[in-house]
Amino acid sequence: MVEINNLSYKWKDEDKDLLRIDHLKITKGERLFLKGSSGSGKSTLLGLLSGIMVPQNGTVKVLDQIISGLKPSLRDVFRANHIGYIFQTFNLVPYLSVIENVILPIHFSTVRRQRIRNMGKEPKQEAERLLQVVGLSGEAIINKSVTELSVGQQQRVAACRALLGDPEIIIADEPTSSLDQTAQEAFITLLLEECSQKQTTLFFVSHDTSFAKDFNRILELKNGSIEEFETINNTSPL
């Protein structure tokens, strides 16, 4: 699903590599938890995995495609088709409604639109199903501007947007940091359930290790490289 080889990355104007990853392989359906202290390079690694940036050395292969070798516009198309990204700050579009935000990926991805069509559905129907799963149902709420929602609700909208049209990989960059413990647990359970039903690969990043127990692989980013921290179990956590 994802394979990194001999990667090194440094930000412009830095003289030292931020990341050095010799080898990392992620297989289909894995649910990974990546921890690491603030500034350790977690978000940078996610940017490399999803082709937002490319490494100075080495390769990033996703779904048999070496994305680090593609030009920027093709990497954008690839990401839109195959990766659902939940940002730390959600990146919802403030002048669009809840439902419009969830449907947004379809405008950038014919692949995801086609997957919904193959289920015999319209994008709006599938968006409504996902919103219902996360407890946001009814015309009143789905037509609201996202700016009128609580942080917890915005986060669930961001998750629905990432999941719409079944991208093979979901990347979540510390999406729970602004929620209380109970809301965080509920959010993670939901994400794990939705991903397990579709055999979606989930790459979840957090510095809060209390959630790691629900994932089947735990990695730590430390001094620029990945350590396989511990593997609690290799079967479904659900």
Ligand X SMILES: Nc1ncnc2c1ncn2[C@@H]1O[C@H](COP(=O)(O)OP(=O)(O)O)[C@@H](O)[C@H]1O
Positions touching ligand X (CB under 6 A) are 11, 18, 36, 38-44
Q: Is 145 in the site for Mg ion (CB under 5 A)?
A: no
Give buried/exposed letters for 14-47 (b at 16+ CB in 10 A, else e). Answer: eeebbbbbeebebeebbbbbbbbeeebbbbbbbb
Query: What's the min distance (Å) between Cβ of 35 and ligand X?
Result: 9
Nearer to ligand X, 18 or 186 (CB): 18
Query: What's the min distance (Å) between Cβ of 89 and Mg ion?
Result: 10
Nearer to ligand X, 40 or 81 (CB): 40
Q: What residue 40 binds from Mg ion, ligand X, none (CB within 5 to 8 A, per partner kind)?
A: ligand X
Q: Is 178 in the site for Mg ion (CB under 5 A)?
A: no
According to DSSP, the residues that pair with 169 across neighbouring strands are: 83, 201
Exposed (0-12), middle (13-18) or buried (19+): which is 228, by Cβ within 10 Å?
A: exposed
According to DSSP, the residues that pair with 14 across neighbouring strands are: none
Binding mask 43-72 for Mg ion (x = CB under 5 A): x-----------------------------
Query: What's the min distance (Å) between Cβ of 10 and ligand X?
Result: 9
Characterize the bridge pairing of strands 19-26 and 2-9.
Answer: antiparallel
Strand arrangement of the beta sheet that strand 225-230 belongs to: 83-86, 169-173, 201-205, 31-35, 217-222, 225-230
Kindly determine how many residues on this chain lie close enough to bind Mg ion according to the rule CB under 5 A: 2
DSSP strands (E only) in 115-198:
169-173
Nearer to ligand X, 131 or 203 (CB): 203
Binding footprint of Mg ion on the chain (CB under 5 A): 42-43
